[in-house]
Copies of this chain bind each other. A is one copy, B any other.
């Protein structure tokens, strides 16, 4: 079988991600496909989140909605971080208003021994990617989506969303052998799911470590980093890789050593400062970010000022050599009650830079 992957080095996002000068400032927004869009709410009516992630036509439609509406430079595969767990046979559901909930928390050695590992292609997702690629133009990149092992481990150990990740951190520290066995299995599952996406033709990928910001840098380095690095290594040289976590200002240095070409930056850290931390640890990388999603609620003038500030901070980092490019994004995800017209306007303002 020949690879379905497109050759689109001139797509602005791919150009920026690979260190070339893009034809326009590329931008996409985390959670651009989601509840802020009326067409998304309509498409999801009566369909559970996880069901939606396994329906090829539906996941393809939802993935393409923000590209059609906002003219963003990339689609991000509509998925959820627990999709590979579900595909592996883990008893997990996504409860509206709460998030992923496990049938049973994974806390003992026996629980880890019994955790299934994904060992096959996720054909519905592969099929959905095929449909997406038929719709996207050559200037529009498709970014694959995988959750990082720490975040998945937290959902498994806590049994659901957690505010403080106590049980996860306690397991990591008090039972390191169980912890590492768990991370091993999750990593294998994530790698297999990523392979599904790569084989189906994604142009780029983002590794989301949603909860990594709840770790100290020491814990991150010892208990998490090797697994995230292993996942990223499996697609080294195959597609550009983006890595992001919320509230990870203190972790930018170790996270950047995991290997991604592009580092997503939380909105709390000015891009020029983020670039310095990343450069000192790993050399110049491409920055992604970092408009505060709350600024989409503050009116056009404020948005324009903030977009200008972020652009200047990125330009400053590129001028002094601490960054090798910039993909515009938020510094977290689009909030559900965001006015979609504000998102469209933000994209226009960014493209005018």
* Interface set of A (CB-CB < 8 Å, partner B): 164-167, 169-170, 173-174, 213, 216-218, 247, 249-250, 267-270, 292-295, 297-299, 301-302, 309, 335
What residues of B have a CB within 8 angstroms of the CB of A301 in the complex? 174
Besides A169-B294, A170-B299, A247-B268, 12 new A-B residue pairs in contact (Cβ under 8 A), listed by A number: A164-B335, A166-B293, A166-B297, A169-B295, A173-B299, A174-B298, A216-B268, A216-B270, A216-B292, A218-B270, A249-B249, A250-B269
Q: Is the CB of B216 within 8 A of A164?
A: no
Most buried by B among A270, A297, A302: A297
Bound complex: CA A270 to CA B269 (Å)? 17
Which applies to chain A's interface (DSSP): helix, strand, loop or mixed? helix
Using CB atoms, name the residue of chain B closest to A169: B294
Q: Is the CB of A217 within 8 A of B270?
A: yes
Using CB atoms, name the residue of chain B closest to A273: B250
Q: Is the CB of A164 within 8 A of B299?
A: no
Q: Is the CB of A173 within 8 A of B302?
A: yes
- List 19 contacting pairs A-B, 8 Å CB cutoff, sorted by A: A166-B293, A166-B294, A166-B297, A169-B292, A169-B295, A169-B298, A170-B294, A170-B298, A170-B299, A170-B302, A173-B295, A174-B302, A216-B270, A218-B309, A247-B247, A249-B249, A249-B250, A250-B268, A250-B269
Bound complex: CA A202 to CA B291 (Å)? 42
What residues of B have a CB within 8 angstroms of the CB of A174 in the complex? 298-299, 301-302
- How far in angstroms is the closest Cβ of chain B from A29? 15
Bound complex: CA A174 to CA B247 (Å)? 25
- How far in angstroms is the closest Cβ of chain B from A293? 7
What residues of B have a CB within 8 angstroms of the CB of A218 in the complex? 270, 309
- How far in angstroms is the closest Cβ of chain B from A217? 7
Using CB atoms, name the residue of chain B closest to A337: B166
Q: Is the CB of A293 within 8 A of B173?
A: no
Most buried by B among A247, A267, A293: A247
Q: Is the CB of B297 within 8 A of A167?
A: yes
What residues of B have a CB within 8 angstroms of the CB of A216 in the complex? 267-268, 270, 292
Bound complex: CA A189 to CA B267 (Å)? 31
What residues of B have a CB within 8 angstroms of the CB of A294 in the complex? 164-166, 169-170
Using CB atoms, name the residue of chain B closest to A172: B298
A293 in complex: contacting residue of B164, B250, B297, CB < 8 Å: B164
Using CB atoms, name the residue of chain B closest to A296: B166
What residues of B have a CB within 8 angstroms of the CB of A267 in the complex? 216
What residues of B have a CB within 8 angstroms of the CB of A166 in the complex? 293-294, 297, 335
What residues of B have a CB within 8 angstroms of the CB of A213 in the complex? 268
Bound complex: CA A217 to CA B267 (Å)? 10
Using CB atoms, name the residue of chain B closest to A251: B268
What residues of B have a CB within 8 angstroms of the CB of A169 in the complex? 292, 294-295, 297-298
Bound complex: CA A166 to CA B302 (Å)? 13
Using CB atoms, name the residue of chain B closest to A290: B216
What residues of B have a CB within 8 angstroms of the CB of A165 in the complex? 294
- How far in angstroms is the closest Cβ of chain B from A228? 18
